[in-house]
Structure 1
Amino acid sequence: MGNRNTLGNSNTLGNWNTLGDDNTLGDDNMLGNSNTLGDCLKFGKRLQMEGVKVLALMCMSNVDGSGRKIQVIVHTDGILIRAGCFKGSLDEFCSKAKRENKTRYAKVVRAAAEALQQDVIEKGITGGWDEVTEKESEND
Structure 2
Amino acid sequence: MTEQTTQKKYELLKDDTVEHFGTTLYRIKALITFGLVGAGQLGGYIETEKNLDHSGNAWVHDNARVYGNARVFGNAMVYGNARVFGNAWMCGNARVYGNALAYGDACVYGDARVCGDAWVYGNARVCGDAMVRSFAVISERKMIFWASNVGSENGTLTVFNGKFGLIVTRGCFTGTVDEFLSKSKEVHDDKTHHEYKLLIEVAQSRILN
TM class, shorter-chain normalised? Answer: 0.5 to 0.7
* Larger Rg computed on CA atoms: 2
Matched with 2:148 is: 61
Unaligned ranges ≥5, structure 2: 1-57, 59-72, 77-83, 89-95, 113-119, 125-131
Matched, 1:9 2:81: no
1:109 to 181, 190, 196: 196
**TM-score, structure 2 normalization:** 0.38
CA shift in 2, pair 1:85/1:121, >3 Å? closer
Q: How many correspondences in the alignment?
A: 104
More strand by share: 2
- Where 2:150 maps in the other structure, the secondary structure is coil
Q: Measure, in 1, the Cα distance between the counterparts of 2:145 and 2:178.
A: 17
Unaligned runs of 5+ residues in structure 1 are 18-24, 30-35, 123-140
- TM-score normalised to structure 1 length: 0.53
Query: Structure 1 residues 110 and 75 mapped into 2: Cα distance closer, same or farther (>3 Å)?
Result: farther
Greater helix content: 1
Q: Which runs of 4+ in 1 moved over 6 A?
A: none
Deviation at 1:87, TM superposition (A): 0.5
What secondary structure, in the 3-state scheme, does the structure 2 residue paired with 1:62 have? strand
1:51 aligned residue (113, 132, 135): 135
Matched residue, 1:129: none
1:27 to 97, 104, 112: 104
Query: Which of structures 1 and 2 has the larger relative contact order (alpha carbons within 8 angstroms, sep 6+)?
Result: 1
Q: CA RMSD in A?
A: 3.8
Instruction: Report Cα offsets for 1:13-53 as digits up to 9, x if no partner.
Output: 423x9xxxxxxx64287xxxxxx94179xx64186842132
Distance 1:80 1:121, change over 3 A: closer
Question: Cα distance 1:50–1:106, how it changes in 2: closer, same or farther (>3 A)?
Answer: same
| Number of the residue aligned with 1:99 | 186
Match of 2:110 among 18, 38, 52: 38
In the alignment, the residues of structure 2 paired with residue 98 and residue 107 of structure 1 have an alpha-carbon distance, to the nearest angstrom, of 9
